[in-house]
């Protein structure tokens, strides 16, 4: 048998013979999620929206314009028949570990395996990566999709098998968040046009189109057209325009899942210093690549990271740490390359000092990330236990499926209770007070009102009970008041 020749890349490196270090990184990442995030942590607000579309636990929640069906399809193999949150978390942790391995493997031959393994470890050790890996949220999947797409795009000319990975990556990203996918691949589109990579361009665009097809069709069926859906999505996100959200992102690094409105102090510099070091090391990695005459392999993930981060740093007026996951995944490659250079550069007087300092710095960084993760998991778990207590109280009062909830945090509490949810104002508005009143004639209805706030007019005469800083107004038909 004739042996196939090893793939040569623009950087001149040969592919590694074993991917075992990458598999080890993915395995540790999976195990860390199961141990540190804890599978029993309840579902969050957005998670209940995605999961409710396929789960038998509760009726489907209102699906607003920016959302896409990728997450719902991803969780369907488990959520469609089981209501176990722990089982869903384990499934997603295993799947996210496998996805990280495949995304790193897409770069084989473009970087040495030690650099790929280090890049994976850097990305996987961030608290935000560990926190959202096992959650039913889209951002992690856009991140690994963008990472894999960039690697497959660069390998597509020399390895036709990479075209399948490129198509799959495009489908994954666009099915999760179509607009995020477009931003992340803009540099790939530019590179393809500049270098006439027509086959790779065609495959990438076909993957994006296939992933976004359902979202686009739904825009015409339920949102009055694609332009109207994009406009409505922009309005929900506060209106896309000139916004400086850099400081908002800094404020969110302390463990805030959503910073909207983004007020309060910036976390301690110990928590945020890595955020400033990250772009500096990425630029150093780019300089190292230029000197080594392998610019393309480093410039592409750098440019894709900048493109993916741009709208969340300069076009929206609020922040969430998960928004920048694609940028972190892509920047991990040039950062890892820079760190490897600092440790292995020959005949440098500073080399004996740099290695111990880097080890200390990385150990301190990991300790801070784990501390933020532990605090975030604890606070999040307590918040979601509050929703469980509310659900239990509603069941005790007689509000059981089929039923309807409205008011404060009605969407997640309705999922926990097994009820439908209805909102008359805000981003998830999909009902009216008249419709809620009519529903109360045939099934239990409850309104969740924060202490100190007035109940809606239709609920003022309903019986109520206090619970956890709110009052539960409820109505049971057939004389059950």
Q: How many Å apart are CA 369 and CA 356, to the nearest integer? A: 20
- On the CB side of 356, CA atoms within 13 Å amount to 3
Overall residue count recorded for the chain in this entry: 481
Structure tokens at 130: 């560990």
Q: Which residue has the tokens 């473009």?
A: 110
SS3 450: strand
Contact by Cβ (8 Å): 193, 201: yes
The domain locations on the chain are 20-344, 382-475
- On the CB side of 37, CA atoms within 13 Å amount to 27
SS3 446: strand
Structure tokens at 301: 């993930």
How many CB atoms within 10 Å of residue 227? 10
CA angle 294, 26, 28 (to 5 degrees): 125
Give residue 243's pLDDT.
86
Q: How many Å apart are CA 427 and CA 260, to the nearest integer? A: 13
Q: Which candidate, 168, 162, 221, places its Cα nearest to that of 197?
A: 162
Query: Which parts of the chain have pLDDT scores under 50?
Result: 1-16, 480-481
Q: How many Å apart are CA 404 and CA 410, to the nearest integer? A: 9
Structure tokens at 439: 């529903």
Task: Kindly give the residue spans of alpha helices, DSSP state H, lying in 11-138.
Answer: 20-32, 45-52, 70-79, 85-105, 113-124, 127-132
DSSP code at position 464: E
Q: Which residue has the tokens 């039923």?
A: 403
SS3 324: helix
Contact by Cβ (8 Å): 65, 211: no
SS3 404: strand
Q: How many Å apart are CA 427 and CA 423, to the nearest integer? A: 9
Q: How many Å apart are CA 225 and CA 34, to the nearest integer? A: 42
SS3 474: strand
Dihedral sign for Cα atoms in the order 368, 373, 376, 382: negative
Q: What are the residues whose beta carbons fall under 8 Å from the beta carbon of 155, sequence distance 6 or more?
A: 7, 9, 106, 108, 109, 110, 162
Write the pLDDT tens digit of every residue in 150-199: 999 999 988 889 999 999 999 999 999 999 999 999 999 999 999 999 99
Give residue 425's pLDDT.
79
Give residue 479's pLDDT.
53
Burial call 428-454: b when 16+ CB within 10 Å, e when fewer: beebeeeebeebbeebbbbbbbeeeee
Structure tokens at 253: 């690094």
Write the pLDDT tens digit of every residue in 87-134: 999 999 999 999 999 999 999 999 999 999 999 999 999 999 999 999
Give residue 348's pLDDT.
65
Q: Which candidate, 328, 281, 284, places its Cα nearest to that of 309?
A: 328
């Amino acid at each position: 048998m004739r042996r196939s020749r090893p793939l040569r890349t623009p950087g001149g490196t040969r592919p590694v013979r074993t991917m075992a270090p990458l598999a080890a990184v993915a395995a540790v990442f999976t195990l860390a999620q199961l141990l540190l995030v804890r599978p029993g942590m309840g579902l969050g607000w957005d998670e209940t929206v995605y999961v409710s579309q396929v789960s038998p636990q509760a009726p489907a929640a209102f699906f607003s314009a920016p959302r896409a069906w990728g997450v719902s399809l991803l969780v369907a193999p488990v959520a469609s028949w089981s209501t176990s949150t722990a089982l869903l978390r384990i499934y997603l942790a295993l799947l996210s570990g496998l996805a990280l391995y495949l995304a790193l493997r897409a770069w084989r031959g473009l970087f040495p395996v030690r650099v790929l393994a280090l890049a994976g470890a850097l990305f996987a050790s961030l608290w935000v990566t560990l926190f959202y890996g096992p959650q039913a949220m889209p951002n992690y999947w856009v991140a690994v999709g963008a990472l894999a797409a960039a690697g497959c795009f660069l390998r597509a000319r020399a390895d036709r098998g990479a075209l399948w990975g490129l198509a799959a990556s495009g489908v994954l990203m666009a099915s999760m968040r179509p607009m995020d996918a477009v931003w992340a691949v803009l540099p790939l589109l530019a590179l393809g046009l500049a270098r006439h990579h027509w086959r790779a361009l065609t495959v990438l665009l076909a993957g994006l189109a296939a992933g976004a097809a359902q979202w686009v069709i739904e825009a015409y069926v339920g949102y009055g057209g694609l332009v109207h859906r994009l406009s409505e999505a922009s309005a929900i996100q506060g209106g896309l325009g000139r916004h400086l959200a850099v400081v908002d992102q800094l404020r969110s690094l302390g463990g805030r899942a959503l910073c909207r409105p983004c007020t309060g102090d910036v976390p301690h510099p110990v928590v945020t210093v890595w955020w400033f070091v990250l772009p500096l090391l990425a630029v150093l990695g780019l300089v190292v690549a230029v000197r080594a005459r392998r610019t393309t392999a480093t410039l592409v993930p750098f440019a894709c990271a900048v493109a993916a981060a741009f709208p969340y740093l300069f076009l929206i007026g609020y922040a969430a740490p998960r928004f920048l996951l694609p940028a972190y995944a892509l920047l991990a490659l040039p950062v890892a390359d820079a760190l490897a250079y600092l440790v292995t550069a020959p005949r440098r007087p500073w080399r004996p000092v740099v290695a111990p300092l880097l080890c200390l710095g990385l150990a301190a960084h990991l300790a801070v990330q784990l501390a933020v993760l532990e605090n975030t998991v604890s606070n999040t778990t307590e918040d979601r236990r509050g929703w469980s207590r509310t659900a239990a109280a509603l069941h005790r009062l007689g509000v059981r499926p089929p039923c309807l909830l409205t008011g404060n945090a009605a969407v997640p509490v309705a999922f926990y209770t097994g009820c439908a949810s209805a909102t008359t104002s805000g981003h998830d508005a999909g009902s009216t007070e008249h419709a809620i009143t009519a529903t109360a004639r045939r099934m239990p209805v409850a309104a969740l009102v924060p202490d100190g706030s007035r109940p809606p007019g239709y609920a003022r005469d309903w019986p109520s009970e206090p619970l956890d800083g709110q009052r539960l107004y409820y109505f049971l038909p057939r004389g059950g008041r």
